[in-house]
Structure 1
Amino acid sequence: MRKIVYLKAAFLYIALATFSSAPAGAIENYIPSVSLENYWTFSGSPQLGASLAGTREFARGDTVTFFVDLANYGRVMGFKADKRADTVMDRMLADRELEYEWERTTALGITGTLRSGSDLIEVRSGDQVVEALRSGERSTDPMRFVIRISNRAPAGEYPLTLHLSYDYQYNVEVDADSIDADGRLRGFRTAYWYERADETVTIPVIVKREAYFEIAEVDADLWAGEKGSIIEVTYRNTGEEVAEDAIARLSVFKPFSSTDDQAYIGTLHPGEERTVRFRVDVDSDATEKPYSINSEIKYTDLLGGTVISESMRIPVNVGPSKRSYLLPIVVGLIIAAAGSASLLRKRRKGD
């Protein structure tokens, strides 16, 4: 029976919200155009709670989707009779109204808006909606929010604010024309009042402690056609944990190639930096311009697990091929040798 009552209330709520002449957001409650008999006054309202489904711990630099479950802890705090039910029809109407009044604690049209209090956490999703949530129930479909955690976010807890806005049934009035021969109400009708409510829930997310790396310095001026060019890179651990057995490696692409694309770093503590070298070959037809070579660090964390860092870009500049002076030198030597031979023959003739 209460299921039927709930569906009726939800339908009437939607109808009132849809056909109200006032613009959306202009009023705080929905008041029907007719006033009927009121036998009961109830107190109480919905009370929403929110919790993360799954982990609340994420890595810096991540873009993640997390799920928020809603629960309605609202309850009826009390009720009193507003009108004496002196007649049979009054008693029947009072009983019918009583059934509807218990739906006061149902939250309708719940809209959730997530906000971040830090520029290090960006909320990338819009409002999320749950159609209705009765007292004592949890949402079957969680709200989904997408956040982006900055690469600069230090480890720690970041509170996110979930603003919840919804409507709930504030009052019900009933009336009927008469009682028929079968003892049923004829011309039964209802009028509903709905009121808007707002709640704010804090949802903390945690940026976990980990080793994190950035490129502090690069020396990489290369030349087209050059073999065994040196790229010198300084890596810094900007995280909160130690990286052990760290190895830096390149992901090269044309016009580059390498047989020496890995460099051992060793143990790198938070705030510590280490400089390593790579050797690369540059194709002779490489275009003269700036390039980026991707780099990552493979290391062992404190739990003994193998971790691969986010990709980092190494800026390199490729200049034109260097002019070779070998041929002019050889030609010069030949000319000089020929001149010396000619001079020697002249001297012999003179003798």
Structure 2
Amino acid sequence: MIPTLMRRHKGRIIILLLVLAAFLVSPAFAGTRYFEGSPNLTAYVSGANQFAPGSSIQIPVVIKNTGINTYYEVASNIVDRADVPTTAKFVTVAMGAGNAPVVIKTDPQMIGDIASQDQQTATFSATVNADAAGGTYTLPLNITYQQFSHVDQYGMDTFQYYYVPMNVTLTVPLVIKSEVIPEVISATSDNLVAGADGYVNLTIKNIGSFDGTKATVQIVQNDDSPVSPVDSNVYIGDFPAGSTVSCQYKVAVADTAQNKTYPVDVVVNYQNDEGDMVPSQSQTVGIDVGNKVNFAIQISPIEMSPGSKHTIQIEYQNTGDTMVYSAQARISVAAPFTSSSDVAYLGDLAPGQTAVATYQISVASDATLKEYGLDSEIRYNNAIGDTYVSDPMKVTIDVQNLTGLEGIISNPVYLSLIAAVIIGIIYAIIHTRKKH
């Protein structure tokens, strides 16, 4: 029965045996031995690769292994190796600055193994120099790794692998944008003091590599600086690389400012190659500010009696750090005082200089006996012709009933009576002489 069945299905049985034999000798059940091949590493910057001068940047570098195994053997008596010659083992990547105007801040990085047709990314932090010229630069990329060499087999399951150290230096491009970069060559301020307006003079150079057009130089208040612009923009037109311009700005200084240097930011707005108006990187410059204009008064104690008139003299001193021009002093009188001359011209006063003002003051006859305080102030011009008024200064007058000769002299009623008596005596003497 069985031989009969075998003869009937002889063809099918032969085919089945051939298939089984093919499976028994198939490479799927065999190992691979590689005779040659090595890693082939390439590198490029991932994403945007254009950076501005003065910026802090991240440079993502992709390292790819394109090595291919071209000569190998597959056999049933070969055990697969754990590593192959085309794998880069224990890869370390270090980036240098080369000739690029950048500072690389990241230390060498270990990125592990890179098998054939695989890739890894290493990101490096860097800073572009503030005065970097635009252009394309190359950054050296030093890559060290271990490459599989060969393996020794001891028995059926013991292997010893051997590796060789490898080192390769690649380069990646870095593009720095061409920009206008302002540098303040000089900054001066003429008689700029707290609580007043004044002018700031700037000389600015384009140290960038781009020729700006339709350029405007702008000053901006720096955070909480007491120096703020009144006129903030100066149009300069073309601003070629390497050129220098001078600009003047009117600024205001807060009353709280002290005798010190305060920051002001400078920005150039210009038209780029695409026709867009763009701002340059900001530059900060120091502006010298003097103390607020102040005055002090010197005056002897003033005592008056009700109904009297007194000529007083007040010495005013410029105690500030700057010259004042066309100064006028004024004393403010109120009841029970009156004055026929309450304004006095002092002229120009340099720092530390003094001037004397004279006033005629009268006190009402019904004035209360006490000490009074009158305000005095100075109206003046600064160096640019703006008018200011000083803080008020106090003039103290003590109204009391004066006795003795001082009381008689200071009282106009007594003075009138004395004058009448003197005139009468003179008249009597003259009349008597005429009779004789």
Provide TM-score, normalisation by structure 2. Answer: 0.57
- 5+ residue gaps, structure 2, are 1-31, 294-317, 319-323, 330-343, 347-354, 361-422, 424-436
Q: Structure 1's 334 and 200: CA in aligned 2 closer, same or farther, altered over 3 A? A: same
> Highest Rg: 1 or 2?
2
Give the Cα–Cα distance (whole angstroms) in 2 for the partners of residues 241 and 223 of structure 1. 34
Are positions 1:234 and 2:203 aligned together?
Answer: yes
Give the Cα–Cα distance (whole angstroms) in 1 for the partners of residues 45 and 103 of structure 2. 17
Give the Cα–Cα distance (whole angstroms) in 1 for the partners of residues 285 and 191 of structure 2. 13
Give the equivalent residue in structure 2 for 1:53: 46
Contact map agreement 2:132 2:208 (CA 8 A) in 1? no
User: How many Å apart are 1:41 and its aligned residue?
Assistant: 7.0
Give the Cα–Cα distance (whole angstroms) in 2 for the partners of residues 108 and 64 of structure 1. 29
Give the equivalent residue in structure 1 for 2:29: none
Give the equivalent residue in structure 2 for 1:72: 65
User: How many Å apart are 1:157 and its aligned residue?
Assistant: 2.7
Q: Give 1 or 2: higher helix fraction.
A: 1
User: Equivalent residue of 1:210, what SS?
Assistant: coil
Give the equivalent residue in structure 2 for 1:209: 178
Give the Cα–Cα distance (whole angstroms) in 1 for the partners of residues 242 and 171 of structure 2. 33
Are positions 1:298 and 2:269 aligned together?
Answer: yes
User: How many Å apart are 1:130 and its aligned residue?
Assistant: 1.7
Contact map agreement 2:33 2:78 (CA 8 A) in 1? no
Contact map agreement 1:101 1:172 (CA 8 A) in 2? no
Give the equivalent residue in structure 2 for 1:138: 119
1:216-227 equivalences under 5 Å are 216-227=185-196
Contact map agreement 2:209 2:241 (CA 8 A) in 1? yes
Give the Cα–Cα distance (whole angstroms) in 2 for the partners of residues 119 and 326 of structure 1. 64
1:281-296 equivalences under 5 Å are 281-296=252-267
User: How many Å apart are 1:244 and its aligned residue?
Assistant: 2.2
Give the equivalent residue in structure 2 for 1:194: 163
User: Residue by residue, what CA displacement relative to the aligned partner does 1:117-167 show, whole Å, maximum 9, x if unpaired?
Assistant: 23732111111222111112223xx11011211122222232211110111
User: How many Å apart are 1:76 and its aligned residue?
Assistant: 3.1
What's the Cα RMSD here? 3.1
User: Residue by residue, what CA displacement relative to the aligned partner does 1:257-299 show, whole Å, maximum 9, x if unpaired?
Assistant: 3332222222222222222221111123312111211121222
Are positions 1:114 and 2:95 aligned together?
Answer: yes
Give the Cα–Cα distance (whole angstroms) in 2 for the partners of residues 258 and 233 of structure 1. 13
1:5-154 equivalences under 5 Å are 42-76=35-69, 78=71, 92=76, 94-96=77-79, 99-100=80-81, 103-118=84-99, 120-139=101-120, 142-154=121-133
Q: What is the total number of aligned residue pairs between the two structures? A: 279
Query: Highest relative contact order (Cα 8 Å, sep 6+), 1 or 2?
Result: 1
User: Residue by residue, what CA displacement relative to the aligned partner does 1:208-265 show, whole Å, maximum 9, x if unpaired?
Assistant: 2232222222222554335221011122222232222222222224422333222222
User: Equivalent residue of 1:152, what SS?
Assistant: coil
Identity %: 22
Provide TM-score, normalisation by structure 1. Answer: 0.70
- 5+ residue gaps, structure 1, are 1-38, 82-90, 178-187, 337-348
Are positions 1:159 and 2:152 aligned together?
Answer: no
User: Equivalent residue of 2:84, what SS?
Assistant: helix
